[in-house]
Amino acid sequence: MDETIDADRVIVMDDGEVVLDDVPREVFSHVEELRSRGLDVPVPTQLAYELKKMGLELPEGILSEEEFVDAYLKLCK
């Protein structure tokens, strides 16, 4: 999964149809859609998504552990 966050472009296909085609930050922001198609998202993205659902004000598009830690620490200040 780590290699996809560094890609220039990610294309998600389902049954021969392109459903998402964009930069990784945009594609992985569609957590529910990806999961509904049986695909995973990076762990930091999933964690941020779940915490946002619980009310934490984390930014969209977190992909890496470093981005997650930075965003979380900003909330703790």
Q: Is 21 strand, coil or helix?
A: strand
> How much is the mean pLDDT over the chain?
94
Q: What count of other Cβ atoms lies within 10 Å of the Cβ of residue 64? A: 15
31 in Cβ contact with 48 (< 8 Å):
no
Local confidence band at 1 (pLDDT 50, 70, 90 cut-offs): low
Res 30: pLDDT: 95
Q: What is the DSSP letter of 14?
A: E
Res 63: pLDDT: 96
Please state the φ and ψ torsions of residue 30, each to the nearest 5 degrees: -95, 60
Q: Give the tens place of pLDDT for each residue, 37-68.
A: 999 999 999 999 999 999 999 998 999 999 99
- Joined together, the tokens standing for residue 4 give 């996809």
Percent of residues, the chain, with pLDDT higher than 70: 97
- Only one residue has tokens 């198609």, namely 37
